[in-house]
Chains A and B, each alone.
Chain A
Amino acid sequence: MVLVYSDDKKLSLELISLAKKLAPSLGSKVYAVTINAPEALGQEYGAYGADSVHALTTNIPQFKAEEYANLLKDLITEHKPDLVLIGSDKNGKELAARLAALLNTGCVMDATSITAQGKVITTERVVYSGAGVAVEQFTVTPAIVSIPPRFAEPLPKYDHHHAQILKKQVTLKEYPSKIQSIHEAASEGVHVEDAEIIVSCGRGLKNKADIQLVSDLAAALKGRTIGCSRPISADLKWLSEDHWIGLSGHKVKPKLYVACGISGQIQHIAGMRDSGVVVAINKDPDALIFKSADYGIVGDLYQVLPKLTSAVKGYSA
């Protein structure tokens, strides 16, 4: 049995799809979990492939890792799945690790690959800031694996496919930690993951206002999306964190990625290595970024960008 849980609906549909692929070697059934959700959500999970849905209602209205880990621990102890897939957003990660400790079992975070041969679960994940991929194997069950968004496409929806809905009311022990408020993060509403063309900037930029040079090139390329490396968002805060591309930021795969004044630290490469064509502009001919680029120009971005922008405009005209 494979059990899947995420408090994000889209991620849950992706997990169900992945679980269905793995299920044949693991005793076939896919169980999804909803917590304090309307019954319609469980039925929708059924239409997207879940065989059964544990529809749990609790006395804890919002996600809290402490209480939800205890809830899932009891569910898993009762039903003994071989594999538990958790959606790898921040809630999911802290839940997966706590749950694994309560069950005295193993956990792999942010798997980039997962296979089941017989009952043996093997995973891969990126380590050493993107310099390597660790291949790991579980020696015990249940295997707990957190799966990042977009790992799998949701299955097609079949409205005639009905999951068995297993309702249960649970009263959880409450922990003294309390949510006081929830606020939107400072965001400019950018979704770099969806962009086909990204022009990205790094420490080669001297002033916040010079981001204009980057957005001019993005506009000429008929893309609107600007990315950046860690210093520009996390340290200097010239761009919000939804622009940040890298291991701790967003991972992107556009058709064209232009890196301007980015040195090419391995943490940044880990966020853009799956891009189609990569172009690098850097004044240092030894910059690491050129090793990860298809095409490069060695030069001062303050000279290169205006010329490149007008050349792109000239080509398109």
Chain B
Amino acid sequence: MNIVVCAKQVVDVSEIKVDPSTKRPVLSGVAKKISDIDKNAMEEAIKMKEKVGGRITVMTVGTPDAKERIKELLAMGADEGVVIAAPGDIDYAGTAVLLAAAVKKLGAVDAILCGEASIDLFSGQIGPRLAGLLDLPQLTYTTKLTVDKDHVTAERNLGDHAVTMTSPYPVLISVTKEINTPRLPSLMQILSSSSKPIKEWKAEELAGGPLTPKVKTVEVKGVPMSRKNIVYQDDLDASVQKLINDLAKEGVLR
């Protein structure tokens, strides 16, 4: 079984600060990590390999420093990495084209796993786009995956209802955060991961031409929020009474 996991290096959104004057998010200097849900995809790929055997290739499209992050996934259990350095203005269309070309270059792939969305931009396009470009079945929003030799069974969370689907290989599966708890690699695994191969493929060679973005980002604005920020502490009974008076004035007590 040849398994591909797609992963993205993102800024750690929980560490993003907002510039107090412009209200814009400040991204420079924020630590980077592998998007959380991609680690869930990695964990599911390892379980798949444990059950039916095979080889796991983890792929990423991003800046060259993504190579360091990919080592974490090699330590978790991937057998090799592929890093595709991409231009800074690449959009989802371009990323999916590169990943599809890389999957084709690998040869016969049976299962592609990815997170339902990345935690930074949460668009969720890459899985379905990749499946579309490769003309594969797509099992998205998977909360439980059962792997058999010739097919998979996925329970998919569609919000107000859930769907159980099956598919033979080859198939693309996107997973949610709830599907599992990603393992932490042992020290031994971390040390031995440094000998695992990481291939660096060039975007222009894979794409066979320039990747002009179909959607360009004009700017990332701040989100204005004006709240009164009146906070009471110390004497609890007095605080409660003041709050009741405030809420009465706001007209929200009935």
Contact = CB atoms under 8 A, between A and B. Distances in A.
Contacts of A156: none
A39 interface: no
B128 A184 contact: no
Contacts of B218: 122, 135-137
B252 A256 contact: yes
A304 B121 CA distance: 37
Interface string B8-29: 0001011010100000110100
A138 B218 CA distance: 10
Given A132-B221, A183-B161, A295 B230 contact: yes
Given A101-B96, A138-B215, A139-B215, A178 B250 contact: no
Classify chain B: how many residues form its interface, as a range: 35 or more
A159 to B, nearest CB: 30
B247 A101 contact: no
Contact of A130 (B24, B130, B221, B223): B223
A293 interface: yes
B232 A297 contact: yes
A28 interface: no
Interface in B212-231: 212-223, 225, 227-231
Nearest to A182: B163
B248 A315 contact: yes
Given A104-B93, A178-B167, A311-B241, A137 B216 contact: yes
21 contacts: A94-B140, A97-B132, A100-B93, A106-B92, A107-B93, A128-B27, A133-B221, A135-B219, A177-B167, A183-B163, A183-B164, A184-B161, A197-B252, A234-B177, A248-B122, A276-B252, A280-B231, A292-B225, A297-B240, A312-B253, A316-B254
Given A133-B221, A178-B167, 13 more contacts: A94-B140, A100-B93, A100-B129, A107-B125, A109-B123, A130-B223, A139-B216, A176-B167, A179-B164, A277-B247, A293-B227, A293-B229, A298-B232
Interface of B: 11, 13-14, 16, 18, 24-25, 27, 91-93, 96, 119-133, 137-141, 153, 157-168, 171, 177-178, 212-223, 225, 227-233, 236-237, 239-241, 243-244, 246-248, 250, 252-254
